[in-house]
Structure 1
Amino acid sequence: MGVQCVECVHEANKKIPSQRTEFGARARQGVPIITYSLIAVNVLAYILQWVIPVTTQNMVLVPALAAWEPWRLITSAFAHSTGSIFHLAMNMYGVYLCGVFLEPRLGRARFSWLYLLSTLGGSLGILLLSPPLSATLGASGALAGLFLSLFVVFRTNKQVLRQMAIVLVLNVVLGFVVSGISWQGHLGGAVVGALAAACIVLVPRNPQRTKIQFSLLGALTIVVAVAIYLSAVAVKWPLS
């Protein structure tokens, strides 16, 4: 048995082609770490809402305040109704189900970007369609984006889509029975999430696929950011 130097082994490993998923991401074994991290952040935020009640007030999205307090566009997606833990539980169950299907296939970077765009899409829907002084919170917009992404990713697999149907129906119902959740956020998150998924899934296999995917996601992010800015300015409350 021969002995090899560290540099030789390192160079040899570079030549071994890394395994890739069907959408070009690095294949990873183990738990979906981004999915679990998102759930952990949501649960932590919920605990803070109980420990420090003013937290909820500072996290919810109020369209009229978005231009002055833009962090609400993101933080509102990690806050949930303290009037019903069912709101948090169902959303996190949905994030878990979607995450274990999507993250291993899309990869950590693509899945994280998809979640962020779905979140921003939900906020954009609220800015465009909700009353300026309404207050909205919850991960439902981001979750709607993940659900629609499943339809894009598994559009030919009816068995997987059937498994998600009950959770989808429950989340739609929640939008009408739990205070502070809006169909506007669901709609915005679903549309942007589906577009983000298309930017990843519909790019054909070729040596430039990753670059094309990230370029399309970057372009979509710019479009959503500009739309959010224009919408926030249009409805901003005259605080000064």
Structure 2
Amino acid sequence: MDHAPGSPQGPREENPHGSSELPVCYRHPARETGIRCTRCERPICPECMVDASVGFQCPDCANRGSGTGHPHSAARPRTLAGGTVTADPNLVTKVLIGLNLALFLVQQSLGDDFTHRFELLGRASYTGYSPLEGIAEGQYYRLLTAMFLHGGYTHVIFNMLSLWWLGAPLEKALGRSRFLALYLVSGLAGSALSYLTAAPTQPSLGASGAIFGLFGAIAVLVRRLNYDMRPVLALLTINLIITFAWPGIAWQAHIGGLVAGVVIGYAMVHAPRERRASIQYGTCALVLAVVIVMTVVRTAQLT
């Protein structure tokens, strides 16, 4: 995304649509923000935030921080969650979408036999596919591989659109590694809850668990930035209604991913700066530990 040159005076307190509720970033006039530079108090969006010893600074103040006036003398710009600001802030989101679409094409090419071997399945339930086992028989990889498979064109298109809408702003705010950790751990939490509570012979697949994790995290982020929560809550409510009203949807994956996303998202954007990385990744490890416990408990029940 192109950067607009900064104005020394900063923007007006009104956005381009005439609203005066929130100021707009001085480098990106179309972006409302509740964050200001701790030195000059100009409004800055997550992409422009530079991690400082206290709070966040705008790029101009960060470049002047050492007194030399040279851009390279400042600390490297960081995202809201402490990740590194990169030239392509949506790279991981694009890779995940590409991987999901590529595996969907593999499904269409190789047929049901491929899908049955990698979807989420507690115990073998099909006949005519040999060998076919489930998680309870030791195929734990299904907890991960099921996140990248889909049941049809509508399924994959809807999920990939959701991944782009939610993933792009989250990756910008969190950074690549933190966003990827959020996505994968949320998806595994959804798979584990499905394995724990669904019928053992009921197969399921899809990226929805991970995407609901992004829903939970973006709600936390919007709250952290003091943005209007109503659009996010309305969209989440609609998706939850569909989850429980539409037949054939594995609601366990949605709820598991959503809870994990809220927990991890809160740690990502609220962790104190001095222990930020350890708290963020420690929370991911804690959620993974819960995933392992659920998997072990269910396996013990089925064997």
TM-score normalised to the size of structure 2? 0.66
What is the identity, as a one-letter code, of the residue corresponding to 1:131? A
1:20-39, Cα deviation, whole Å (9 max, x unpaired): 11211112232411101111
**How many correspondences in the alignment?**
221
What is the identity, as a one-letter code, of the residue corresponding to 1:232? T
What is the identity, as a one-letter code, of the residue corresponding to 1:215? G
Aligned partners of 1:174, 1:215: CA distance in 2, in Å?
A: 30
What is the identity, as a one-letter code, of the residue corresponding to 2:291? V
Q: Partner of 1:24 in structure 2?
A: 82
What is the identity, as a one-letter code, of the residue corresponding to 2:175? G
Q: Partner of 1:66 in structure 2?
A: 135
TM-score normalised to the size of structure 1? 0.82
Residues 151, 161 of structure 1: 8 Å contact kept: no
- Shift of residue 218 of structure 1? 2.2
Alignment of 1:5-20 (within 5 A): 16-20=74-78
SS at match of 2:211: helix
- Are 1:39 and 2:97 matched, yes or no? yes
- Shift of residue 58 of structure 1? 1.1
Which of 55, 60, 75 does residue 145 from structure 2 map onto?
75
SS at match of 1:154: helix
Q: Which piece of structure 1 moves more, 214-223 or 194-203?
A: 214-223
Specify every segment of 5 or more residues in structure 1 that has no aligned partner in the other structure, as ranges: 1-11
Aligned partners of 2:233, 2:95: CA distance in 1, in Å?
A: 21
Q: Partner of 2:222 in structure 1?
A: 154
Q: Partner of 2:254 in structure 1?
A: 186
Larger Rg: 2
Aligned identity (percent) is: 30
Specify every segment of 5 or more residues in structure 2 that has no aligned partner in the other structure, as ranges: 1-69, 124-133
Aligned partners of 1:205, 1:117: CA distance in 2, in Å?
A: 22
Residues 73, 120 of structure 1: 8 Å contact kept: yes
Q: Partner of 1:6 in structure 2?
A: none
Q: Which piece of structure 1 moves more, 27-36 or 120-129?
A: 27-36
1:76-102, Cα deviation, whole Å (9 max, x unpaired): 1111113xx111111001111111110
- Shift of residue 174 of structure 1? 5.9
Aligned partners of 2:122, 2:141: CA distance in 1, in Å?
A: 12
SS at match of 2:164: helix
The answer to which structure, 1 or 2, has the higher relative contact order (CA under 8 A, 6+ apart) is: 1
Alignment of 1:1-240 (within 5 A): 16-53=74-111, 54-64=113-123, 65-67=134-136, 68-82=138-152, 85-155=153-223, 157-159=226-228, 162=231, 165-166=234-235, 169-170=238-239, 172-173=241-242, 176-177=245-246, 179=248, 181-206=249-274, 208-236=275-303
Residues 103, 148 of structure 2: 8 Å contact kept: yes
1:193-213, Cα deviation, whole Å (9 max, x unpaired): 21111221221233x322332
What is the identity, as a one-letter code, of the residue corresponding to 1:35? T
C-alpha change, 1:221 and 1:17, in structure 2 (3 Å) is same
C-alpha change, 1:47 and 1:221, in structure 2 (3 Å) is same
Aligned partners of 2:223, 2:257: CA distance in 1, in Å?
A: 19
Q: Which structure has the highest helix share of the two? A: 1
Residues 121, 224 of structure 1: 8 Å contact kept: yes
- Shift of residue 152 of structure 1? 1.1
Aligned partners of 2:299, 2:216: CA distance in 1, in Å?
A: 25
